[in-house]
Structure 1
Amino acid sequence: MAKEKIVLAYSGGLDTSIILKWLKETYDAEIIAFTADIGQKEELDGLEAKALATGASKVYIDDLREEFAKDFIYPMFQAGALYEGQYLLGTSIARPLIAKRMVEIARAEGATAIAHGATGKGNDQVRFELNAAAIAPEIKVIAPWRLQEFRDTFPGRAEMIAYAESHGIPVTASAAKPYSTDRNLLHISYESGVLEDPWFDASAPENKDMFLLSVDPEDAPNEPEYIEIEFAQGNAIALNGEPLEPLRMMEKLNELGGKHGIGRVDMVENRFVGMKSRGVYETPGGTILFTAHRKMESITMDREVMSLRDSLITRYSNLVYNGFWFAPERLALQALVTESQKNVSGTVRLKLYKGNVIGAGVKSPVSLYNPDIATMEADPTQSYDQADAAGFIRLNALRLKVSAGVNQQNK
């Protein structure tokens, strides 16, 4: 009989290297290693050879960067998604794409299961499995860290390193980097290790080497840099007059943001599984794009449409963070978001300076801003009669006066 096939989300780190070998031995299965290239850069070097040497029968390293930018980052930014007011969801938004491609490979290879190295305490296990369930309910999921047998075998890092050495698995594990990272086109995250102490100052001068995508704002250029981003229907399409596809736009904005120390966030957030965790994030290009998009909306989006969309930001952000990208409610919300973006077109000018993204101008051929109406001088259009405001105020004050009268009587 042919062996069972399992598709493993493989990063080449200690955990997934151990898991690859352990799955092969425990399930007597054929392991297909899959790595999504979503912008990890040098982290991908040598992965194929390493996976094959560890026991994988086949290795997929798929360049998904353009799809990531176009079909995941851009739609999410149109929605104004911002988790708990700070986090631009860099790790969260990558997981549905990885799950989608894993399922496609599993089906193409005739695999019956997919596997991942996410721990039983984190968000990623939920994201991988909920997104996979939404598009491939027939495929089972193996999560070794939730299996007692696996945890008994590997109660700590020392046991994992010893196992790797005994099986000839090349791994790099040291105290030189006392935290874990996750990098992609949108951001890089830092968590665990020394960062589990929320009093630990990640921005201190002695920790400058931790950050990979941006210079310390204090070390950024002393002169501001002006840029212009052109939008069409809510999507950034050109930078300083140069048309750019989503991938190249994100790469360029990352370079600019990193140069000026933009996009660092240090926060304690609420994981979906119930605990609080501390995360440090670098999102240089995303921070620029998020700010520019909001400024473009300010001049082109109807007030009530914006209010409705904004009222759904928390819900949308939670859906992304918690792993419901392919859920029907997120798809329904996205349809509303897409409708809201039809006139979000024009150009935004920004000033980048020492960690700040400062608005420096906005214009649009479909602008809802009318200077003749907004002016504090005489209105040449005579479309707004200031005397009308008196009745407007009286009507809005009516319920307040009634409520105040009742409260005074009850004192």
Structure 2
Amino acid sequence: MVTSAPLPISLDRSSRVPLARQLAAGVRDQVVSGALPVGRRLPSTRALATDLGVSRSVSEQAYDQLSAEGWLTGRRGSGTYVAAGASARPRHRPRRQRVEEPGLLRLDTGTPWIDPRHRAAWRRAWREVSVATPPRGYDDPAGTPELRAELAGHLARTRGLTCHPDEILVTTGTIGGLTQVLTALPPGPVAHEDPGYRAAAEAIRSGGREIRDLPGAEPVTDLGGCVAAYVTPAHQHPLGPVMSGADRLGLLAAARGAGAVVIEDDFDSEFRYDVAPVPALAALDRDAVAYLGTASKSVAPSMRLGWLVAPPALHHTILERREVTHDTAPWPVQRAFVSLLRDGYVDQVVRSARRVYAARAERVLAALDGRAEPIRPVAGMYATVPLPQATALRVAECARAAGFEVPLLSDYCRTARLTGVIIGFGGCTDAELDQALAAIVRALG
């Protein structure tokens, strides 16, 4: 004989949700989770009402609702049962593929150093946001006009890229802009540097596109069959070299010959300290290049703010889509960045960081002198150090033991067979960098 048992369900009598609806939800959850398996007999409506201290009408309404949904079935003269087809569904907790060890400081390629002396300007910008009046509805799909005007001046002054504010689209960072460009392109493969920026490669794959590997820091002469090529010409990520003038012209010629768009990720061009920043590739051909800029390397990655200057046809396609999807950066972030640009905060933190990075690059070179040779010139906020893989693994392990995570060059490769380590020096203090370098030197012997 099949018997029933009391149901472990609690009701909140202070809730505005009717008791019958609460009871139905509680039973439904147990059926869906498998706690009440198929064929289980449930208490009668009278017994359940008594167990829960409610009127019988509450339990009757709950059972009627669940029977109508197909979770329960009544058998004449026998009782109410969990219906066939209501099988258990295991619940899985999401599992992170990469678990950071507590207290481990990652010396990566993208965490900037922000001079604490400029915090007052940062706070002032957000105070302005707090008293500003937000849009009544969704914001301008291209981005706020005030921010686009400030960005137009910033790009002309710092990147040699002259454009009208209406030609700029504000994005949710580099990957947000890249994804919108990819969505606007016709079907086809996208060329990508190897080794290269892993987040960009993942965005290309996630869009269902094939990646064609371009050997990193080498001339590009053929883009046949590709609809686009993603490149980092100002500071190849992660190898470091600047794309030469001849190679820039060759890349543009290859793009025109293939009818492809060059997607320029200008991620940290402001941090050259051996020479003046190299002008943007887009300045050479606005019709062939989609330019991506970001606030992540100069202000804060967590702002999730960037900008896109695309060829006219792509610009209109992306803007039309954004008018439907409202896929742009949040208004408060845009409004704050207007103040940060207008009041000189961005220029100040860039100048300060450039001086700090130059000094830290010298510390890295001095520490490794005679032991390893980084790829020169060192620029931006990291140094790439070619090493045999066994040595690179030993360096990473020794750094980890000292409390630091040092990325492996091989992790940035797909078909390339390059090995070594990358020593980031943006997201740390001078003292922390010295500790990490001491551990690296010990590993190098």
TM-score with structure 1 setting the length? 0.25
Query: If you compute each CA radius of gyration, which structure gives the higher value, 1 or 2?
Result: 2
More strand by share: 1
